[in-house]
């Protein structure tokens, strides 16, 4: 992807984000029939934000495709320009820590029995803990 193509995509993402944010200002969840629409708009907004972050990300290092050596721009100043030799390497942001423990709501009426409810709640708590978050103690 050329620099110009990348800049056009960045501009497109920014425009889409602005349009989705503007759209959300005029609707509220209380209106019947709009809840699903708002969820869709929020999902699209999040997708555009992720795409924009990916496009604007700067590589941490560059991998030489032939020698498998990682270098920084300080070590190899032309690494960002020579795509035939160097592949840019990026990192992911660390997961965001939640300020308070996650409280699992009571959804017993949807389970049909206390046993199913208990198993489901334990599975949900396990998944939350595996994601690195604390779960509020429950009975």
pLDDT tens digits along 93-134? 555 555 677 777 777 776 677 777 777 778 777 777 777 778
**Angle 100-101-102 from CA coordinates, rounded to 5°:** 115
pLDDT at 44: 80
| CB half-sphere exposure, 54, CA atoms < 13 A | 8
Average the pLDDT over each of 24-28, 38-42, 87-91, 115-119 and give the range with the smallest value: 24-28
33 pLDDT band, cuts 50/70/90, is: low
pTM of full prediction above 0.75: no
66 pLDDT band, cuts 50/70/90, is: very high
């Amino acid at each position: 992807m050329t620099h110009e193509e990348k800049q056009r995509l960045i501009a497109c993402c920014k425009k889409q984000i602005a349009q989705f944010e503007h759209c959300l200002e005029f609707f509220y969840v209380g209106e019947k029939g709009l809840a699903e629409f708002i969820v869709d708009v929020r999902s699209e907004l999040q997708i555009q934000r992720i795409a924009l972050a990916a496009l604007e990300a700067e590589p941490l290092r560059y991998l030489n495709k032939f020698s498998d050596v990682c270098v920084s721009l300080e070590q190899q100043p032309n690494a960002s320009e020579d795509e035939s030799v160097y592949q840019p390497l990026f990192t992911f942001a660390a997961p965001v820590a939640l300020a308070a423990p996650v409280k699992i709501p009571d959804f017993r009426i949807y389970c049909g029995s206390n046993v199913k409810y208990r198993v489901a709640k334990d599975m949900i708590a396990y998944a939350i803990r595996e994601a690195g978050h604390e779960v509020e103690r429950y009975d």
